[in-house]
Structure 1
């Protein structure tokens, strides 16, 4: 039976990925700083993960492991941490783990980010053929991790997911969900700019696919739901999941900026109002299919966390 080391097992992605892989018949060695937080279940082996802020010995964690899925790292948090901390945890730690895993495992799957390739918005659909142009330290350290992994000589697959959504999501999707929960009409009706998202379930299926596919060895893939969604449709889907009508009106973008400022999210203006489409066809050509469309996934996510409508 394949034994997979999953680092960052208690993070947003890890807490869904670990039981899903275990349910598919893999033995999952789930590594986290606090293994007591790892959900117990058949085929799940909780272990303590080393502190990535300093050089670590992965010998015990790698014992009898056939694959690694590396999720652990610092999430995108502009200005929250010094650049050298991002470099240490998001780049150096990846190179160290790859070096120690070389010759012991069949595949190293790195969870990178679309931010390793592009900034907050793009006028054209992004593909893997585009020259990577990360715009801040998070993306730059993710890209450096990819390069160091490729240089290690280990068999690898890099996944660059779009913004991932699902139960317990944080960041921009959570901020929009907070706004969608308000009873007032919202001025998003005119926002036709389309952005690519990624259902946590689609991401899980992508990880399972590349773990078992020889065709994905030593390749880098963008991962997204099949069809981008407009911001207006995104907020409408959130309200549908809450059991409410859309109540979207068309207003000048200045009004939208003021609304976001009132929620303390003015810095996310470009993330909401810019276009950002990802073309996932390279991974789809290997046989992976994103089964969940963004609108349906957002409705489902909101229903799972819905409070009584105001």
Structure 2
């Protein structure tokens, strides 16, 4: 087995590389910043979405499997719909076309629950949920799923799968979870006790473990898998876990939701408020039924993430 990992210097890509190295897998690592990868594996620059077909054929030549982590994340606030479609859908399609033609093994495409639901929607989702993406990022990830599947179907193959991820936490995370962790690092009371909406999260190590499971398990691939930690947790519990990790007292004040929502609207943070109060549960039963073990200690792992961030980034204080 020789696996191509794209986006190998990214938040999840780095952990995937670590997991595969521990499993003794031969690797080819692709990144827009290959100089950051260091020694130990074959490294190559990641082609852009508009590179010629020959660049993608060269990238996938002599590998058996592909793990596609590269793309444009939804923390890029100034990205346009066209930017997301190019970096996510078009790049994924071009890579899948080359992989389906000459890589004999599996293609694991890291996707997102945003391909299915918006950040402000209350829902429980699984692999059969009808997709209804509601942002440019989500639409681009859904389009990428479709185009990867179509590229493999064109070659009569069914060994490509989309792995949909909820928010992933761990050292170096970004997005709303990183914002909540920064907010938690204060001795002042926080009016977060009213944030009782439950959210599915996924630990960084479990995300990489899910990738290795899909590459190595013997059962035929399904088109879509959802991954998450075993149990959802409330936003208030997330903040509380971060505070424990920082060594802060809990001090979470249960301010009524109405005044907090009004304050968020006045501050121009209504979308953030709505996303923090929505209940979004991701059902990992399919992956678990095939032998993957989801994380069971979410709050403990969140506290550990804060402790590591505290030690590595004193500026947070």
The TM-score normalised by the length of structure 1 is 0.92
Relative to structure 1, the CA distance from residue 26 to residue 258 in structure 2 (aligned partners, 3 Å threshold; closer, same or farther) is: farther
1:214 counterpart SS class: coil
Relative to structure 1, the CA distance from residue 265 to residue 305 in structure 2 (aligned partners, 3 Å threshold; closer, same or farther) is: farther
Match of 2:253 in 1: 249
Q: How does 1:1-310 map to 2 (within 5 A)?
A: 2-41=1-40, 44-55=41-52, 57-77=55-75, 80-105=78-103, 106-152=105-151, 153=153, 154=157, 155-257=159-261, 266-306=270-310
> How far is 1:292 from its partner?
4.3
Give the Cα separation in 1 of the matches to 2:110 and 2:259.
37
Relative to structure 1, the CA distance from residue 135 to residue 102 in structure 2 (aligned partners, 3 Å threshold; closer, same or farther) is: same
Q: Deviations over 1:236-291 (max 9, x none)?
A: 10001111221111102255457768998554112211111111111111111113
> How far is 1:233 from its partner?
0.8
Aligned length: 307
Give the Cα separation in 1 of the matches to 2:266 and 2:8.
35
Decide whether the 8 Å contact of 1:8 with 1:14 is kept in 2. yes
Relative to structure 1, the CA distance from residue 112 to residue 55 in structure 2 (aligned partners, 3 Å threshold; closer, same or farther) is: farther
Query: What do you get for the CA RMSD once the two structures are aligned?
Result: 2.2
Decide whether the 8 Å contact of 2:115 with 2:138 is kept in 1. yes
Give the Cα separation in 2 of the matches to 1:39 and 1:113.
29
> Which ranges of structure 2 fall in alignment gaps of 5 or more residues?
none
Decide whether the 8 Å contact of 2:80 with 2:136 is kept in 1. no
> How far is 1:296 from its partner?
1.5
> How far is 1:306 from its partner?
1.3
Relative to structure 1, the CA distance from residue 226 to residue 75 in structure 2 (aligned partners, 3 Å threshold; closer, same or farther) is: same
> Which ranges of structure 1 fall in alignment gaps of 5 or more residues?
none
Give the Cα separation in 2 of the matches to 1:112 and 1:87.
13
Pick the structure with more helix per residue.
2
